[in-house]
Amino acid sequence: MTDTPAPEIVESVDISALFGPDGAARDACVAALWDGLRRTGAVVVTGYPDADKVDARARVGLKVFDLPEDTRRAITTRHMAPENRFYYRGLWPRSPERLLQNDFYDVGPERPAPGPDLPGMEILSEPTPWPDPEPEPGWRATVRAHYAHLNRVAQAMILSIGRSAGFDEATIRARFEGDHSTLRFLSYPEGAAAADPAAGGAVVSAGRHTDASGLSLLWQAAPGLQAEGPDGVFRDIPVRENAISVHVGDVMTRLTDGAVPATPHRVLSRPGPRHSVGFFLEPALTAPVTPASHGQATGVRETYGWQLLQTFAARAQWKGVIADPDDTA
């Protein structure tokens, strides 16, 4: 009888020194974060400020899925609830054709900033629809605190990663200091499976993909999340107390001219229901998404808002709602 090899997992990094003074400890933390991302495509981070609040806040936020059906309907996007006026933020029920087989509820910034003057841009700067009544007293305040906390952590990490890749900190900061990021609560029903099986025969509830963000912070209540490293190996993201995993998004890859590759990841299907939370650090709608080394003046076509309009215009569920900006400019 032979022992079954233990599954490979991504590395864990204590990033407490990232929030401390300059010095050897901070330099070692920056190097560990960079090396872990380069080796396995993702890392699990611990030790950041107020980390002891992450599990509790995530579980409070996820109570949005326990609301009665009529309250859930009132915060569902217009795609599925035509009587509502909002399209972008809010609750998105699962649909069979999607690569990710989950319900999700999107929370945006408290005071959304406008984007470039383009048709459809007002949709991308919608306020978040909040459930009334709340799942429990103080729920909205807890969700807002969670958004602010994860935004602080993500901002510190993207500056660290940008510096490690050889880019000027001020340039990276300018792309992400605007407020357009997304906090997402996700619920996978028991046995949820995407229509297309994964390579190697794995059954997945979220197919292999990269995120469109600059950086993604992912929290999970149960195992299933895997990240693909540069070597093509999928590694498990372990579930650890008050820990989150870090994944590079497409925007950061574009800003660094490919020096920081986006992290492909997927979610394995599991027997029971699965809940998770993602924070997606995004540029402001008016921020350019050209490479950080690009020294020339940029126009509206280089903004993150223009990119989002193009992305959504190509998706079936946005037909008739958002037009390709190339067709309306």
129-186 pLDDT, tens digit per residue, is 999 999 999 999 999 999 999 999 999 999 999 999 988 888 888 888 878 999 999 9
**62 falls in which pLDDT band (50, 70, 90)?**
very high
The pLDDT score that the predictor gives to residue 222 is 92
Percentage, residues of the chain above pLDDT 90: 73
Tell me the mean pLDDT in the region 220-234: 94
List of residues 6+ apart from 187 with CB closer than 8 A: 62, 65, 102, 103, 104, 273, 274, 275
pLDDT of 197 > 70? The answer is no
**5 falls in which pLDDT band (50, 70, 90)?**
very low
Task: Just give the CATH number of 11-328.
Answer: 2.60.120.330
The pLDDT score that the predictor gives to residue 99 is 73
| Mean pLDDT value across the chain | 91
The pLDDT score that the predictor gives to residue 172 is 87
Pick the range with the lowest mean pLDDT from 30-39, 51-60, 122-131, 173-182. 173-182
The pLDDT score that the predictor gives to residue 192 is 77
The structure's pTM equals 0.94
The pLDDT score that the predictor gives to residue 170 is 87
pLDDT of 4 > 80? The answer is no
The pLDDT score that the predictor gives to residue 295 is 62
Say how many C-beta atoms besides its own lie within 10 A of residue 266's C-beta: 22
pLDDT of 199 > 70? The answer is no
The pLDDT score that the predictor gives to residue 151 is 96
pLDDT of 22 > 90? The answer is yes
The pLDDT score that the predictor gives to residue 3 is 44
The pLDDT score that the predictor gives to residue 329 is 65
The pLDDT score that the predictor gives to residue 153 is 97
Tell me the backbone φ, ψ of residue 14, rounded to 5 degrees: -80, 115
The pLDDT score that the predictor gives to residue 296 is 63
Say how many C-beta atoms besides its own lie within 10 A of residue 117's C-beta: 9
Per residue in 63-118, pLDDT tens? Answer: 999 999 999 999 999 999 999 999 999 999 988 777 778 899 999 999 999 999 99
